[in-house]
Chain A
């Protein structure tokens, strides 16, 4: 276990570390929130600091009754990274997110460090911006009021929160739609409102659970490119679940492949493709080579979960 963690750090230093440093400069923690390492001050510091994880999980297992969803999971995410997670359905990806969002406590005996501080999962409530698999927009709130839900809960006055959200509308392709209600929006727009709600909740770590899973292929590729732009402007650390390998490679600095249930990390694959990434990168030999490696790993796990299911 330790060896793998070490190897990972080295790999990261060789690889996209320079890029990651750039991100860290811009990683602006939200106002009034103390950050343990104050990464914004480290512009000229040695690259080793960049490798310090924002969040670190070790020996994380989660059992629901007789179902073992996660077993001895190890994940470590450095500030500014965009890490994508793929794996067969039911392997515990959403469960991992629920733990990171503070909603579920893992089984005892785990190690969970947030900014280097040992924590229980519930300490993370209110500290991670979490976007669940469904958009969960509130039907009685219009676009702008859905977007500011988290800010309101933080106690920001509505007027101010709305002003912030209004300023963000064009970037999310929602200009002019502020007064619409969710049932008047297309699937892609609803998803963008949910994403905007997540972005407005300014936390260091952002969890996106299959945000584009329900969209058609064309909308999805557009949203991917758009997300990269937005991510580059806002500089957050992102964990992104997807079942689409192309999406995982296109977006990620790293791809984590999870095993069939009980979920563990089967493979951590660095993606050394340069940024900004253009749409045609998916046809480059490097991309295809990565895809091949990942698909093999995923295939193996999917087969396992099929066999478990009795096929």
Chain B
């Protein structure tokens, strides 16, 4: 079963690489063949050369952005899950909190960025807060949906074994919710990197969003693209890591 999963994901990865190479080739041909100016589309080779040239500053920026994303993500996941559990355990809170959360979640969180920058400064803290807010709402809603999926008959069964509310939560509701929680976590990976970068563009001392913003001001479009590619790589790696965890630990809901 594991071997099957490995070959399956290996095939997916090799397909992804083939696709990326194809896009890069077409891109290269277009950029060179049509002789496009750099502000429209620099060639792939020039972007790669730019990445090598700016490697140290790009890596530093990547470290910045990755730290903000991961920290905000971890905090957001914890807050989202804890709030969801709390709300499920206190049914009266639920009818108030749930519509509110849904409403807040439907506004793009980046709309709050200027305020958060004002409150938390333009250092890392403001990015972490923004990412945490964005992630926590998603995780909150998916955890609630997951906890609600529990089957009444299964609850009855373990109550008949003498299980109290906590035991029902721990042994039944949370495992039942896990596939949806992890699915929410997987989607949130990309979201957390996006939110970190966008917030950096609005004000920061470092990070890929800040690099992009500065490069645009300096009309250095090769650098803009170099930073975008690094950001995509971080997103992909993050997404891949959580997908791996999902396959590994939520084996039952796929079969």
Closest to B157 in A: A136
Is B158's beta carbon under 8 Å from chain A? yes
Please classify the interface of chain A as helix (H, G, I), strand (E, B), loop, or mixed, using the class held by over half of its residues: loop
Please classify the interface of chain B as helix (H, G, I), strand (E, B), loop, or mixed, using the class held by over half of its residues: helix
Give residues 168-205 of A contacting B (CB, 8 Å): 181, 183, 201
Closest to A139 in B: B252
Is A311's beta carbon under 8 Å from chain B? no
Given A136-B154, A181-B252, A103-B175 contact (CB < 8 Å)? no
Which among B154, B159, B252, B255 is the interface contact of A125 at CB below 8 angstroms?
B159
Q: Roughly how many angstroms separate A101 CA and B153 CA in the complex, as a whole number?
A: 12
> How many B residues have CB within 8 A of the partner chain?
20
Is there contact, CB below 8 Å, between B162 and A132?
no
Is A263's beta carbon under 8 Å from chain B? no
Which among B154, B162, B171 is the interface contact of A154 at CB below 8 angstroms?
B162
Q: Roughly how many angstroms separate A149 CA and B155 CA in the complex, as a whole number?
A: 12
Is B163's beta carbon under 8 Å from chain A? yes
Is there contact, CB below 8 Å, between A183 and B255?
yes
Which among B157, B175, B178 is the interface contact of A132 at CB below 8 angstroms?
B157
Closest Cβ of chain B to A152, distance in Å, is: 7
Closest Cβ of chain A to B75, distance in Å, is: 27
Q: Roughly how many angstroms separate A201 CA and B160 CA in the complex, as a whole number?
A: 10
Q: Roughly how many angstroms separate A185 CA and B52 CA in the complex, as a whole number?
A: 55
Closest Cβ of chain A to B47, distance in Å, is: 45
A-side contacts of B54, CB under 8 Å: none
Is there contact, CB below 8 Å, between B161 and A153?
yes
Given A139-B252, A139-B253, A181-B252, A152-B160 contact (CB < 8 Å)? no
Total of A-B residue pairs, C-beta within 8 Å: 56
A-side contacts of B60, CB under 8 Å: none
A-side contacts of B159, CB under 8 Å: 102-103, 125
B-side contacts of A125, CB under 8 Å: 159-160, 162
From B161, B163, B172, residue with most partner A Cβ within 10 Å:
B161
Is there contact, CB below 8 Å, between A138 and B161?
no
Closest Cβ of chain B to A269, distance in Å, is: 28
Q: List the 7 closest A-B pairs by CB distance, nearest first.
A: A126-B162, A150-B161, A139-B252, A130-B160, A101-B160, A153-B161, A153-B163
Contact surface of B with A, Cβ cutoff 8 Å: 151, 153-154, 156-163, 167, 171-172, 175, 178, 251-253, 255
Contact surface of A with B, Cβ cutoff 8 Å: 98, 101-103, 125-130, 132, 134, 136, 138-140, 149-150, 152-154, 181, 183, 201
Listed A/B pairs (9) with beta-carbon separation below 8 Å: A102-B159, A103-B156, A127-B162, A132-B153, A136-B154, A139-B253, A140-B178, A149-B161, A154-B161
